[in-house]
């Protein structure tokens, strides 16, 4: 196991005091300047935030400059902590950089659109396309029979009215009685089935609407 330097122990102690979970010298796969795969070992990894930390114990070091460029090229979130500076300075800098990286990630996530086809579309149009209110529920055969009976009943009543002009009272009476009975049963069947269809439609549409609000 690799021993920590004095500067690394300072950073480790500070991270622990602030409640960060960390790992010492994890391996990171990167592509170097020649596009060759390399394994780097930065000093720390904040495991909960996936942010790396490199401890700079000296003011000038070509190694830090070279690795910094490679990390940036590979878009590895890493913070270089210059512990040779004043203690308050490097500690404040480290906290600020952690917050900055974390806030940038949150900002990027908040701008993600779930589906490109719905970008910048009015809510009403989205409702129509997503069918939050589902008007395509199948109507039962009983409802269809009810509507047919209503139509037949109306036709019989219309024939009864026409037969009055020919003074065929018996046929008129029969057509009226049969027409009213057929019409009545048609209304009863159609309304009963339609009311059930309407309740199902309302329940499903309400659930879809609430699910949309939660998004």
Domain boundaries of the chain, sorted by first residue: 6-110, 137-214
Spatial separation of the C-alpha atoms in residues 213 and 209, rounded to whole Å: 6
| CATH code for the part of the protein at 6-110 | 3.40.960.10
CA–chain centroid gap for 210, Å, is: 14
Query: What is the pLDDT tens value at each position of the chain, 215 positions in all?
Result: 678 999 999 999 999 999 999 999 999 999 988 888 989 999 999 999 999 999 987 766 777 888 889 999 999 999 999 998 899 999 999 999 999 998 888 887 766 655 554 444 454 454 444 444 444 444 556 667 777 888 888 888 888 888 877 777 788 888 888 888 888 777 776 665 555 655 666 667 667 766 666 65
Cβ burial 163-190 (10 Å sphere, 16+ → b, else e): beeeeeeeebeebbebbeebbeebeebb
Say if pTM beats, i.e. exceeds, 0.85: no
């Amino acid at each position: 196991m690799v021993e920590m330097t004095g500067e690394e122990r300072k950073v480790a102690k500070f991270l622990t005091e602030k409640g960060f979970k960390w790992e010492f010298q994890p391996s990171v796969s990167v592509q170097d300047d020649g596009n060759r795969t390399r394994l780097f070992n930065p000093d720390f990894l904040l495991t909960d935030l996936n942010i790396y930390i490199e401890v700079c114990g000296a003011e000038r070091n070509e190694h830090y400059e070279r690795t910094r460029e490679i990390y940036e090229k590979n878009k590895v979130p890493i913070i270089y902590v210059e512990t040779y500076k004043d203690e308050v300075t490097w500690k404040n800098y480290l906290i600020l950089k952690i917050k900055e990286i974390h806030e940038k990630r949150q900002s990027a996530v908040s701008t993600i659109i779930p589906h490109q086809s719905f970008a910048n579309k009015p809510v009403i149009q989205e409702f129509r396309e997503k069918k939050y209110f589902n008007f395509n529920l199948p109507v039962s055969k009983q409802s269809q029979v009810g509507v047919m009976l209503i139509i037949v009943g109306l036709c019989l009543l219309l024939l009864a009215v026409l037969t009055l002009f020919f003074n065929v009272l018996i046929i008129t009476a029969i057509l009226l009685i049969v027409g009213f009975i057929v019409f009545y049963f048609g209304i009863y069947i159609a309304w009963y089935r339609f009311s059930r269809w309407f309740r199902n439609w309302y329940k499903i549409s309400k659930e879809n609407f609430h699910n949309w609000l939660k998004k």
